[in-house]
Chains A and B, each alone.
Chain A
């Protein structure tokens, strides 16, 4: 089981999701994927790389399509009336997917230095933590008094 996990997720100690920034970081054999063989890895290379350190236009169109489809899905869920208590968690999950898609790929955080990731996620963490606290105080503050 552990071997299968290694094969699916790692190549020589590097995660498959670690897109190479330079030619020297490319896996050997180049662009070999964990599944699907060379043809699939070539497609992946074409849509993600574009010959520059950032992703190529094909990959950006894919991300744009993904964001559009999720927005459509959200609106479709809004028209459904039988989701009950699942409605808000599902919408928040879909919203988080769009958020991460834009930040990671359009804002290039996925391809940028880790310091930027730390700065942004730390701000997010502080912000979300503070506002959760405010909401909890609002919810339970009266009971304490």
Chain B
């Protein structure tokens, strides 16, 4: 899993670098300063961070042999991951409503590809965790095979740290980005 995560670091790094290379180069709006909603995204970031906390607590209680608590915390991971996906769905729909799609401008392209791929990772993680919660409930996931949950947990935490970087780079740092100098000349 660590080797896979190492490769995934480079995978996401490529998209983050692409975003940074093209940052502030969109010649038409909507621009980040017009569309990003920092308070809402901060809440979804907090939700994802807390899902990581739930993940380690689930693993801890599984190792301790406390089946019910382990199942409960894994279900909390599923719930918080689903809530995060809900936030992302609402955000994407809102952006489309405001006129930002992957084809609108270079910001739209790089933003949707990066956050969309991250969202796909979260979705896979939620499905994975749902299966593990069911296995824990049925007693098939126990302390002696807790490595299954630990490996899934590594994946989940990785998704979390990728979002930590995305939240800082795309949302907090780019939130004030407007049109590049001279863009107004193109529009008369």
Contact = CB atoms under 8 A, between A and B. Distances in A.
B160 A102 contact: yes
Interface in A34-86: 50, 52, 54, 56-57, 60-61, 63-64, 67-68, 71, 74-75, 77-78
Interface of A: 50, 52, 54, 56-57, 60-61, 63-64, 67-68, 71, 74-75, 77-78, 87-88, 91-92, 94-95, 98-99, 102-103, 105-108, 116, 119-120, 122-124, 126-128, 130-131, 134-135, 138
A120 B17 contact: no
B46 A68 contact: yes
Interface string B135-179: 000000000000000100110011011001101100011010000
Given A60-B53, A64-B49, A78-B175, A119 B2 contact: yes
A50 B165 CA distance: 31
Interface in B11-69: 13-14, 16-17, 20-21, 38-39, 42, 45-46, 49-50, 52-53, 55-57, 59-61, 63-64
Count chain B CB atoms within 10 A of each CB in A87, A107, A116, A119 and give the residue with the most: A107
- Chain A interface main SS type: helix
A95 B46 contact: no
Given A75-B42, A128-B13, A130-B13, A68 B49 contact: yes
A95 B165 contact: yes
A74 B21 CA distance: 23
A107 B53 contact: no
A99 B161 contact: yes
Nearest to A67: B49
Count chain B CB atoms within 10 A of each CB in A102, A106, A108 and give the residue with the most: A106
B120 interface: no
A50 to B, nearest CB: 7
The number of chain B residues touching the other chain, given as a range, is 35 or more
B34 to A, nearest CB: 16
Contacts of B56: 60, 105-106
A88 B157 contact: no
Count chain A CB atoms within 10 A of each CB in B14, B153, B161, B165 and give the residue with the most: B161
B46 to A, nearest CB: 6
Given A57-B61, A123-B10, A127-B10, 20 more contacts: A50-B60, A52-B60, A52-B64, A67-B49, A68-B46, A74-B42, A75-B38, A75-B42, A78-B175, A91-B172, A94-B168, A95-B164, A95-B168, A99-B161, A99-B164, A106-B55, A123-B7, A126-B10, A131-B16, A131-B20
B5 A54 contact: no
A91 B13 contact: no
Nearest to A97: B164
